[in-house]
Structure 1
Amino acid sequence: MVIHWWQVIFYCFCLVAFIQIFYYLFFFSRLALYKSKIKNITQTHPVSVIICARDEAANLTKNLPGALVQKYSTTHEIIVVNDNSFDESKYILEAFQRTFKQLQIVELKQEARFIPGKKFPLSVGIKTAKHEIVLLTDADCVAASEHWVAKMQEAYRENTEIVLGYGANNKKKGFLNKLIRWETFHTALQYLSYAVAGMAYMGVGRNLSYKKSVFFRHKGFSSHNHVASGDDDLFINMAATKSNTQIMIDKDSFTLSEPPKTWNEWMKQKQRHYTTSRYYKAVHKFLLGLYAASHWVFYPLFIASMLFFSWKLALLIFGVRLLIQFFIFYNTMSKLGE
């Protein structure tokens, strides 16, 4: 039996379409159809919110009040690690502290040698925290609601050590903003779906919670201190298990941040993120790489199948994949407010 080259193209197209449909149905449908489990016993936990800031005076002035005015009846504290700032951050924080007694200020006046990024200040903040549960965000982020702390801690169950949240971008005019928000959504679709499937591989430092015990059990960031980024995704990739990780996607649990305003800023941000993915576990690199590769070849194979094999069969497969994709994206975007 002779197999012609145009048949090979069509078979490859079918294989790639099947791979994508598998991801949509096996992984992403879990998030699209996700409903948080109802707790039998309602319990609140003391929480330490930790924010690292370096020369973030403007962002602290604008965003810190969102953390300070949280409606949370249980004991909590807001820790801001002022990391060697040269601007007015110190005085702005002291002014806030006179009004909000739950604000704790940690002043860092010395750089940590050979530990780039914010891993050292974040480690100091976690060690300073009085409570077992820590909730992390960035100085350029603001809580989407005054129930952010309450909703994020609500996800903790008996065996939970890690809670992954969603960090959205503010909606602005322009194509770049839409592209950045799409990329943020698509990243969240993957890491939240994998977490629901018991294969959590990353979280985002804009909205992430875990217990101090899991942080110290894994010796903090020591295994990847040499990498500038990764205080969020590399730690979760190392510490998350099938049973110790939950997600929280209630809209009151989101944080909002200002997206990059120029293409150059966005590309620099993406480059920082890509430097950490090579340190992921092999199974995660394989699954993420296969999914990404399938997108690179899907449309060229679709067009080639239309031209050289059968446009009817190619359109049929494309249509089935499109309907499944639309269902997944529409439901997930609705859940994430996008």
Structure 2
Amino acid sequence: MAFLIFGLWRLKQNQVEGTPKVSVVVAARNEEQNLRRCLEALTHQSYPRERLQLIVVDDRSQDGTREILNHYRSKLPELLKTIRIAENETHPSSKKHALTRGIARATGEFIFTTDADCTPPSAWISEMASLFAPEIGIVIGPAPITAKNELWDKLMGLNTLAKEFVAAGAAGWNLGVTCTGRNLAYRKAVFHEVGGFNNIAHSLSGDDDLFLQEVTGATRWRVTYSLNPNTAVPSQAKKNLSSFVTQHRRHASAGQYYTKPIQASYLVFNIANLSLFVFFAFGLFYDDLFPLAMLTFGLKLILDFLALYLIAKNLRKETLLVVFPLWEIFFLLSQIFISPLGFVGKSRWK
């Protein structure tokens, strides 16, 4: 934990000037309820329109997604390009296939990705693009949860902030560990340098974290994380535990393809976290263990809270810290009972 906290402190936000050509690629499947909001957000970016290209790939949608895309394309023929995946096109990971098709049509020097149910803020592209110093190949953007007043939303929001902390802290050491595809940007040259998604095609998910690990592990390009809250692309919290389990399981399924050092790091962290809880429980019943148990568990809580506070402060999400005690229990239970599900059975992208 201290390693990641120091990594967050080391994270540099060097900005460069200029407006390079940017292509935003969105993979959409059955998104008629969200697509209009996403397209409105993307077409109202502060970035110069002549330096921007929007590409939406319709992955065999069976709702009104196609009609919405046709409407916007007729209004913005120079800005918006659409691609339709045919019903007979099969691929182990349909989302990575859709993104690959979109990137093949991209004319921009930089590829930005987001999801069709997201609404990036108006400064998203301009602020993210400014972080591409000459040595930077990939920029991770914050992807928080929009938390309402409900306890569940706040719990999901803080859980997401924990992932953001890991992503930012690791990036401070130029380590690619995790990120989310709803807020990611990279050089198109980097995408081609690692062979696109070819080396990770066997995983349903991984168009984000596995790709990130591929870039930082196989190239000399550096990674950074945007701490600018104006680059945050929020998403709605899952409505209930069942939806959370389904999503968490799909994301965890990529873990079996992580590099061995990253797998080992996660394993050591989870074992240590569980051990501290167990030691704390024993300390409540054995007087000889009580002082040491309280000390070690207290230190854990301090480090956990400090980590979450630092990332929350940067992203202006301090109000989520009110559920920190409950989150500690939720996080432990999710690591014990939910994460292992990603290694059994099969998951689907919508």
TM-score, normalised to structure 2, is 0.83
**2:53 counterpart letter in structure 1:** E
Measure, in 2, the Cα distance between the counterparts of 1:238 and 1:161.
Answer: 12
The equivalent of 1:124 in structure 2 is 101
Measure, in 1, the Cα distance between the counterparts of 2:246 and 2:14.
Answer: 41
Query: In structure 2, the residue corresponding to 1:136 is in which secondary structure?
Result: strand
Measure, in 2, the Cα distance between the counterparts of 1:221 and 1:57.
Answer: 27
The equivalent of 1:27 in structure 2 is 4
Partner residue of 2:80 out of 103, 107, 116 = 103
Query: In structure 2, the residue corresponding to 1:230 is in which secondary structure?
Result: coil
Q: Paired residues, what number?
A: 312
2:208 pairs with 1:229: no
**1:139 counterpart letter in structure 2:** A
The equivalent of 2:346 in structure 1 is none
The equivalent of 1:158 in structure 2 is 134
Partner residue of 1:176 out of 152, 164, 167 = 152
- 1:128 offset after TM fit, Å? 0.5
Partner residue of 1:137 out of 104, 114, 119 = 114
Measure, in 2, the Cα distance between the counterparts of 1:36 and 1:111.
Answer: 46
TM-score, normalised to structure 1, is 0.86
Measure, in 2, the Cα distance between the counterparts of 1:237 and 1:38.
Answer: 22
Q: Which has the higher contact order (CA 8 A, sep 6+)?
A: 1
The equivalent of 1:261 in structure 2 is 239
**1:179 counterpart letter in structure 2:** L
Measure, in 1, the Cα distance between the counterparts of 2:88 and 2:225.
Answer: 34
- 1:115 offset after TM fit, Å? 2.5
How do 1:294-309 residues align onto structure 2 when only pairs under 5 Å count? 294-308=272-286, 309=288
Conserved? CA contact 1:77–1:103, under 8 Å = yes
Give the direction of change, closer, same or farther, for the CA distance of 1:320–1:83 in structure 2 (3 Å limit).
Answer: closer
5+ unaligned residues in a row in structure 1: which ranges?
1-22
- 1:231 offset after TM fit, Å? 1.3
- 1:109 offset after TM fit, Å? 2.2
Conserved? CA contact 2:24–2:55, under 8 Å = yes
User: What do residues 224-265 of structure 1 show as CA deviations (whole Å, max 9, x unaligned)?
Assistant: 222211111111111224752111120110101122112111
Measure, in 1, the Cα distance between the counterparts of 2:13 and 2:148.
Answer: 34
Q: Which has the larger radius of gyration?
A: 1
Measure, in 1, the Cα distance between the counterparts of 2:230 and 2:13.
Answer: 17
Give the direction of change, closer, same or farther, for the CA distance of 1:314–1:75 in structure 2 (3 Å limit).
Answer: same
The equivalent of 2:248 in structure 1 is 270
2:30 pairs with 1:55: yes
- Identity percentage of aligned residues: 26
**2:115 counterpart letter in structure 1:** D
- 1:320 offset after TM fit, Å? 3.8
Per mean C-alpha deviation after superposition, the further-off stretch among 327-336 and 299-308 is 299-308
